Amino acid sequence: MKQNAIIGCLVILPLLLCGCQDPRKVSEPKKPARETSATGIIGKTTQDIGEYDPSAGAKVSDGKMKPVNPLNPLGGLNAYKPAVERLMKLQIQQALNLFQAANGRYPRDHDEFMEEVIRANQIKLAVLPGNWVYQYDVQNHELVVVEGSKDVP
């Protein structure tokens, strides 16, 4: 009987000690992770699509991956923009094809494109690195990526 009491105390004592915490530490909220340049645009989305003006002379992206030094550990980041660009263009092209099939025509202007294609389908495009922005080419009915200026708050 005495042995059972000793064993019971040995089992219960650590449980009691582990369960005791300072209540001030338990109620403190965790600090949010600090945003760094490494977490910059990955995972962020936008619906900001401008209207493409061919006469403006903006540099249009070719969507190709540029060769990089294989010894550079950050060289793989050069593949991010072309990959995202292609995926977003495919998504928009699919939505435009559905609009064309339903209406027998493509959107008449940029406003109709934004309202009937982007907002109606709740499309959110991945944010592009650098000064690259999305624009809609009304004449060719396609999404283009041009080097422009982003309005940074």
- pLDDT over threshold 80, residue 151: no
pLDDT in tens, 76-108: 677 888 889 999 999 999 999 999 999 999 999
- pLDDT over threshold 50, residue 34: no
Task: Identify the band that residue 148 occupies on the pLDDT scale cut at 50, 70 and 90.
Answer: confident
- pLDDT over threshold 70, residue 35: no
**pLDDT of amino acid 1:** 63
Instruction: Give dist(CA 144, CA 59) in Å, integer.
Output: 10
153 or 105: which leads in pLDDT = 105
pTM higher than the cut 0.85: no
What mean pLDDT is predicted for residues 21-47? 61
